[in-house]
Amino acid sequence: AQSVTQLDSQVPVFEEAPVELRCNYSSSVSVYLFWYVQYPNQGLQLLLKYLSGSTLVESINGFEAEFNKSQTSFHLRKPSVHISDTAEYFCAVTDPGNNAGNMLTFGGGTRLMVKP
Amino acid sequence: DVKVTQSSRYLVKRTGEKVFLECVQDMDHENMFWYRQDPGLGLRLIYFSYDVKMKEKGDIPEGYSVSREKKERFSLILESASTNQTSMYLCASSIYYEQYFGPGTRLTVT
């Protein structure tokens, strides 16, 4: 079974500073990878995804993540954060070759706290 | 626009009560999921359904059951609520591995 580790439960950072949220997954022949964001008192929203092709994927609000197969990682980065990026971020993985029902396995989440 | 709705945002129940959490999606998705979210544990899958009247256990099905009589509706049932079921419950539906989530129901069992 797949597993996902988000190494940091909380990441405090000042506004306009860069940030990296780390995600590692258990190895598999093939994977699809996702980052979801949960703003306070809301459900999860898809931020970005890697299915195939370029290993660097971007979101519309300036986040990017890079799929690194050798390190089994999918870290999320943003060069300059805003107060509005304060949220909880979840990494998720699935093995498309062995997955009935499109199930995802989620990490424990990282709470990003952007300070003025 | 994609929409998943959940019947209640906040719910308070007593120990031993039967609790129904309802989820409705308007996207004609075949797959639907119930998760519970607890601090530090992320999202844990309770049950999922890949078709009407079909269900599969997730990682933590004990103490829960589900019902899917119509494609758009997936219900989570706590037969006899206990305090350790106090949690945030999230419903999702999916197509091609991309899951769409409802706003969540925060259930408190006293």
List phi, psi (to 5°) of A6: -105, 110
pLDDT at B63: 96
Q: What is the mean pLDDT of residues A106-115?
A: 95
Show the tokens assigned to A53: 């092709």
Whether A102 sits inside 8 A of B104 (CB atoms) is no
Alpha-carbon span B97 to B50, nearest angstrom: 12
Is the CB of residue B101 less than 8 Å away from at least one CB of chain A? yes
Alpha-carbon span B41 to A47, nearest angstrom: 20
Amino acid at A36: Y
Q: Which of A36-50, A86-100, B8-22, B94-108 has the lowest mean pLDDT?
A: A86-100
Task: Indicate the residue of B35, B58, B94 with minimum beta-carbon distance to A102.
Answer: B94
Residue A90 has pLDDT above 80, yes or no: yes
Beta strands (DSSP E) in chain B are 4-6, 10-13, 19-25, 31-38, 42-51, 54-57, 64-70, 73-78, 87-95, 98-101, 105-109
Is the CB of residue A50 less than 8 Å away from at least one CB of chain B? no
> What mean pLDDT is reported for chain B?
94
Show the tokens assigned to A22: 């780390």
Quote the domain boundaries for residue A61: 4-115
Q: In sequence order, what are the beta bridge partners of A115?
A: A14
Chain segment A1-42, per-residue pLDDT in tens: 788 999 999 999 999 999 999 999 997 678 899 999 999 888
CA-CA-CA-CA torsion sign (B33, A76, A98, B43): negative
Whether A43 sits inside 8 A of B43 (CB atoms) is no
Cα torsion for B7, B11, B17, B19, to the nearest 10°?
20
Residue A99 has pLDDT above 70, yes or no: no
pLDDT at A62: 94
Is the CB of residue A13 less than 8 Å away from at least one CB of chain B? no
pLDDT at B75: 97
Is the CB of residue B41 less than 8 Å away from at least one CB of chain A? yes
Alpha-carbon span A107 to A9, nearest angstrom: 10
pLDDT at A100: 65
Alpha-carbon span A77 to A95, nearest angstrom: 23
Show the tokens assigned to A24: 């590692």
Q: What's the number of domains chain A is made of?
A: 1
Whether A43 sits inside 8 A of B102 (CB atoms) is yes
Percentage, residues of chain A above pLDDT 90: 74
Give, rounded to a whole angstrom, the gap between the first and last alpha carbons of chain B: 37
Is the CB of residue A17 less than 8 Å away from at least one CB of chain B? no
Is the CB of residue A107 less than 8 Å away from at least one CB of chain B? yes
pLDDT at B72: 96
For residue B50, the Cα-to-chain-centroid distance in whole angstroms is: 14
Structural domains in chain B, CATH included, are 4-109 (2.60.40.10)
pLDDT at A101: 64
> What mean pLDDT is reported for chain A?
92
Provide the CATH number for the domain around residue A108.
2.60.40.10
Q: What is the mean pLDDT of residues A92-114?
A: 86
Whether A32 sits inside 8 A of B97 (CB atoms) is yes
CA dist list (Å): B4 to A3, A13, A38, A45, B17: 26, 32, 15, 12, 26
| Cβ-Cβ contacts under 8 Å for A32 (sequence gap 6 or more) | A49, A50, A51, A93, A94, A95, A96, B97
